[in-house]
């Protein structure tokens, strides 16, 4: 079971940014993903979005999905095993 940590942000910050707490959580998840501090899966989880919805959100902002050469090689090996 996941544990949660609460962060106290003054209400006026949300008003000034014209953003909801849910939108703030998504923005933080995107930022941490973009900085490569969170994996796709963890950022998606933090944003509270499905795999496809988060991928579409990243695409709409022209944020590339991180995909290393190691992951590519692993995927190639998996495909060889399947076929």
| pTM for this predicted structure | 0.76
**Nearest Cα to Cα of residue 39 among 50, 29, 52:** 29
pLDDT of residue 49: 96
pLDDT of residue 23: 95
pLDDT less than 50: residues of the chain: none
Each residue's pLDDT tens digit, 2-18 = 788 898 999 999 999 99
**Nearest Cα to Cα of residue 41 among 76, 69, 71:** 71
């Amino acid at each position: 079971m996941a544990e949660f940590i609460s962060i106290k942000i003054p209400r006026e910050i949300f008003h000034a940014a014209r953003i909801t707490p849910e939108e703030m959580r998504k923005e933080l998840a995107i930022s941490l993903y973009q900085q490569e501090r969170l994996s796709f899966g963890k950022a998606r989880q933090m944003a509270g979005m499905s795999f496809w919805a988060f991928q579409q959100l990243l695409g709409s902002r022209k944020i590339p999905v991180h995909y290393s050469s190691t992951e590519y090689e692993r995927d190639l090996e998996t495909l060889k095993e399947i076929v």
